[in-house]
């Protein structure tokens, strides 16, 4: 195989120098970018920790006002009573689940509070973190037991009770109990739910209604039917026949007698009617069964609520709204102190400056920004529009109300009484502002500062209307006081199941009658009646 020989390569010194210079510049640029690239935006938990430490300084148990539907503030006394069972100084924080995701939150709270003890963090369902500072308490093992030994829907108070029980047992027993609970859970032995839902109650009501009809009807129709079947199955007493007589007359009489007897054998035995006592007994049994169903069903299906939480009171449903309205009365930007901060000082100053400029603009006005979580367990049921309307009613001032969720990253805008196109604000707002792009969703602070700045730019450019406009009234939220109440057992589902109960009773009667017929034929074949 011949290999070609290339001639000498022509060198271009200027190209080489340019190439090397470009490579050097690229390397320097990459190095500079690496050294100066901004870190991923993070939330500031120092103000949150300081606020929570102040609350624990006032009371060793702090229950948030943001979960009235699940953990009303009135349960703080119950948590305090349970905390005394641990045998060590115990500090309890009950916060929304996403508010306590920072693994160093309890460390920061303890450092600011400056008191040793057992620090426990709970959310709306379980113990999320527990750390012992300067005291001997099996916090990790107690958390494991509280997680695995109880059904998931028992609520935070019941879990905290189990947690305190294990802490009081000491290190050795707590460790053994935690290992046993973990092994049992790994084997698939998950505890059954402690509460039922509306679907379960509907099934209970339907079953009770059907049972109320099926049992009495079957007693009324099956007892007489089985009695007749049994009497027909029993052989009827047979005549001994007529003795033979002499002569043709005797033979003829014997022949007629046999003919008559064979005709009688072809007919079914005559069943005597039931006595009055039997009829009244059957009717009494049917009535007693109906009464038993009505009396026993509420005792068997005795659940009245679908959740552990007590109904919230009026002040608990208004506590957070009052807090936010009071904050907005002093500053147009209110940041929830229980949540991580998503705006730094510089971003907050720029936002407040933009708000003041918008208020002075033609057709502009006040802007109120609430950096507050929107949760299914809060007073508004997680409905941002209902929350904004309630805050507007509390504050009593028209303007643009912005609801920015620091835990989920959403931004919603509602106009109350300004000369702005409310429809455009509600439906034409860019998703990069309301939801955020991929970069925003990846950032701990959801890039809330830049998105709120973009929102103010949109407000500046929003078309002004001739007359003030207002956002539509929000849909009514679920009644927080009654939402956990189960429907009554003897409700619509109970009554609607009565007629199907008649159908079921008829079907059961048909099946039983068919089976008895088959059994009767089989018995007659095995025990034929004796021939005469």
Decide if 89 is inside a domain: yes
The C-alpha atoms of residue 328 and residue 326 are separated, in whole angstroms, by 6
Please check whether residues 205 and 307 belong to one and the same domain. yes
| % helix, strand, coil for the chain, step of 5 | 55, 10, 35
Decide if 404 is inside a domain: yes
More confident residue, 164 or 517: 164
pLDDT at residue 317 greater than cutoff 50: yes
The alpha-helical segments, DSSP class H, found in 303-367 are 314-330, 345-360
The alpha-helical segments, DSSP class H, found in 149-275 are 156-169, 171-186, 198-233, 247-266
More confident residue, 504 or 19: 504
Decide if 57 is inside a domain: yes
Looking up tokens 């720029």 gives 350
Please check whether residues 443 and 515 belong to one and the same domain. no
Q: How confident is the model at residue 460 (pLDDT cuts 50, 70, 90)?
A: very high
Beta bridge partners of 340: none
For range 105-129, the mean pLDDT? 96
Please check whether residues 164 and 51 belong to one and the same domain. yes
For range 255-264, the mean pLDDT? 49
Q: Could you give the C-alpha distances from 513 to 25, 101, 206, 209, 506, in angstroms and in order? A: 97, 66, 26, 24, 10
Q: Quote the pLDDT of residue 529.
A: 57
Please check whether residues 344 and 438 belong to one and the same domain. yes
Decide if 478 is inside a domain: no
Q: How confident is the model at residue 445 (pLDDT cuts 50, 70, 90)?
A: very high
Lowest mean pLDDT among 137-151, 264-278, 381-395, 482-496: 264-278
Q: How confident is the model at residue 41 (pLDDT cuts 50, 70, 90)?
A: low
pLDDT at residue 424 greater than cutoff 90: no
For range 232-248, the mean pLDDT? 54
For range 235-239, the mean pLDDT? 55
pLDDT tens per residue across span 326-378: 999 999 999 999 999 999 999 999 999 999 999 999 989 999 999 999 999 99
Q: Quote the pLDDT of residue 240.
A: 45
Please check whether residues 70 and 102 belong to one and the same domain. yes
Q: Closest by alpha carbon to 163, among 147, 176, 179?
A: 147
* Domain end (from 470, 502, 517): 470
Q: What does the block give as tokens for 483?
A: 């939402």
Q: Quote the pLDDT of residue 256.
A: 52
Q: Closest by alpha carbon to 102, among 140, 180, 48?
A: 48
pLDDT tens per residue across span 59-83: 999 999 999 999 999 999 999 999 9
Please check whether residues 332 and 434 belong to one and the same domain. yes
pLDDT at residue 260 greater than cutoff 70: no
Torsion of CA 372, 375, 377, 381, to 10 degrees: 100
* Domain end (from 125, 157, 186): 186
Burial environment of residue 108 by CB neighbours within 10 A (0 to 12, 13 to 18, 19 or more): middle
Give Cβ neighbours of residue 103 (< 8 Å, ≥ 6 apart).
Answer: 129
Decide if 30 is inside a domain: no
Task: Please report, for the domain that includes residue 120, its CATH number.
Answer: 3.10.310
For range 477-482, the mean pLDDT? 93
Please check whether residues 220 and 144 belong to one and the same domain. no
Query: What is the pairing mode between strands 464-470 and 411-420?
Result: antiparallel
For range 49-54, the mean pLDDT? 96
Please check whether residues 158 and 217 belong to one and the same domain. no
Q: Quote the pLDDT of residue 109.
A: 97
pLDDT at residue 435 greater than cutoff 50: yes
Q: Quote the pLDDT of residue 526.
A: 76
Q: How confident is the model at residue 471 (pLDDT cuts 50, 70, 90)?
A: confident
pLDDT tens per residue across span 145-194: 999 999 999 999 999 999 999 999 999 999 999 999 999 888 777 888 99
Are the CB atoms for 159 and 126 separated by under 8 Å?
yes
Please check whether residues 128 and 222 belong to one and the same domain. no
Dihedral sign of CA atoms 368, 371, 374, 380 in order: negative
Please check whether residues 426 and 515 belong to one and the same domain. no
pLDDT tens per residue across span 77-103: 999 999 999 999 999 999 999 887 888
pLDDT at residue 487 greater than cutoff 90: yes
- Write the DSSP symbol of residue 99: G
C-alpha count within 13 angstroms, C-beta hemisphere, residue 468: 11
Decide if 258 is inside a domain: no
Q: Closest by alpha carbon to 120, among 164, 153, 87, 155?
A: 164
Q: How confident is the model at residue 523 (pLDDT cuts 50, 70, 90)?
A: confident
Please check whether residues 421 and 513 belong to one and the same domain. no
Q: How confident is the model at residue 520 (pLDDT cuts 50, 70, 90)?
A: confident
Please check whether residues 318 and 465 belong to one and the same domain. yes
* Domain end (from 186, 207, 222): 186
**Domain hosting residue 74, numbered range:** 46-186
Q: Quote the pLDDT of residue 100.
A: 78
Considering all CA atoms of the chain, what is the largest pairwise distance in Å, rounded to the nearest integer?
A: 156
DSSP string, 64-93: -SS-TTTS-GGGHHHHHHHHGGGSS-EEEE
Decide if 243 is inside a domain: no
Q: Quote the pLDDT of residue 427.
A: 83
Task: Please report, for the domain that includes residue 439, its CATH number.
Answer: 3.10.310.50
Percent of the chain with pLDDT over 70: 84
For range 2-18, the mean pLDDT? 36
Q: Quote the pLDDT of residue 422.
A: 85
Q: Quote the pLDDT of residue 29.
A: 44
Q: How confident is the model at residue 236 (pLDDT cuts 50, 70, 90)?
A: low
pLDDT at residue 253 greater than cutoff 70: no
**For residue 332, how many other CB atoms are within 10 A of its CB?**
21
DSSP string, 425-447: HHHSS-HHHHT--HHHHHSTTTT
Question: What is the count of structural domains for the chain?
Answer: 3
pLDDT at residue 441 greater than cutoff 60: yes
SS3 call for 447:
coil
pLDDT at residue 507 greater than cutoff 70: yes
SS3 call for 440:
helix
- Write the DSSP symbol of residue 341: B
Are the CB atoms for 86 and 55 separated by under 8 Å?
no
Q: Quote the pLDDT of residue 185.
A: 85
Q: Quote the pLDDT of residue 54.
A: 97
Decide if 35 is inside a domain: no
């Amino acid at each position: 195989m011949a290999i070609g020989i290339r001639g000498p390569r022509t060198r271009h010194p200027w190209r080489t120098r340019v190439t090397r210079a470009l490579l050097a510049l690229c390397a320097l640029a990459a190095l500079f970018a690496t050294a100066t690239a901004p870190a991923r935006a993070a939330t500031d938990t120092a103000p949150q920790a300081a606020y929570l430490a102040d609350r624990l300084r006032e009371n060793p148990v702090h229950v948030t006002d943001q979960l009235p539907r699940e953990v009303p503030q009135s349960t703080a006394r119950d948590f305090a009573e349970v905390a005394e069972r641990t045998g060590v100084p115990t500090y309890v924080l009950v916060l929304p689940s996403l508010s306590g995701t920072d693994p160093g939150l309890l460390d920061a709270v303890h450092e600011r509070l400056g008191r040793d003890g057992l620090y426990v963090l709970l959310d709306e369902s379980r113990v999320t973190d527990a750390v012992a500072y300067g005291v001997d308490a099996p916090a990790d093992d107690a958390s494991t037991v509280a997680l695995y030994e109880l059904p998931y829907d028992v609520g935070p108070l019941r879990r905290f009770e189990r947690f305190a029980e294990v802490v009081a047992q000491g290190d050795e027993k707590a460790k053994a109990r935690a290992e046993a609970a973990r092994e049992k859970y790994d084997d698939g032995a998950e505890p059954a739910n402690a509460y039922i839902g509306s679907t379960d109650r509907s099934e209970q009501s339907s079953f009770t209604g059907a049972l109320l009809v099926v049992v009495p009807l079957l007693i009324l129709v099956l007892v007489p039917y089985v009695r007749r079947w049994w009497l027909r199955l029993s052989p009827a007493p047979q005549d001994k026949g007529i003795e033979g007589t002499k002569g043709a007359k005797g033979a003829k009489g014997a022949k007629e007698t046999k003919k008559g007897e064979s005709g009688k054998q072809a007919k079914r035995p005559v069943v005597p009617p039931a006595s009055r006592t039997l009829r009244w007994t059957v009717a009494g049994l049917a009535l007693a069964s109906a009464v038993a169903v009505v009396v026993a069903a509420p005792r068997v299906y005795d659940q009245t609520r679908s959740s552990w939480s007590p109904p919230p009171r009026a002040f608990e449903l208004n506590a957070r709204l009052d807090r936010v309205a009071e904050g907005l009365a002093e500053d147009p930007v209110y940041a929830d102190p229980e949540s991580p901060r998503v705006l730094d000082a510089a971003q907050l100053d720029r936002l407040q400056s933009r708000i003041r400029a918008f208020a002075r603009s033609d057709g502009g006005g006040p802007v109120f920004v609430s950096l507050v979580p929107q949760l299914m367990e809060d007073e508004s049921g997680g409905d941002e529009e209902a929350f904004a309307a309630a805050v507007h009613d509390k504050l009593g001032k028209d303007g643009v109300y912005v609801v920015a969720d620091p835990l989920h990253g959403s931004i919603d805008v509602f106009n109350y009484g300004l000369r702005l196109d409310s429809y455009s604000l509600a439906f034409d707002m860019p998703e990069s502002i309301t939801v955020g792009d991929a970069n925003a969703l990846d950032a701990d602070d959801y890039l809330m500062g830049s998105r709120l700045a973009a929102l103010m730019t949109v407000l500046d450019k929003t078309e002004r209307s001739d007359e003030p406009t207002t956002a539509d009234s929000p849909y009514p939220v679920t009644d927080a006081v009654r939402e956990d109440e189960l429907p009554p057992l003897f409700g619509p589902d109970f009554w609607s199941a009565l007629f199907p109960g008649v159908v079921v009773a008829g079907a059961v009667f048909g099946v039983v009658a068919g089976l008895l017929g088959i059994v009767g034929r089989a018995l007659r074949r095995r025990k034929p009646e004796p021939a005469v």
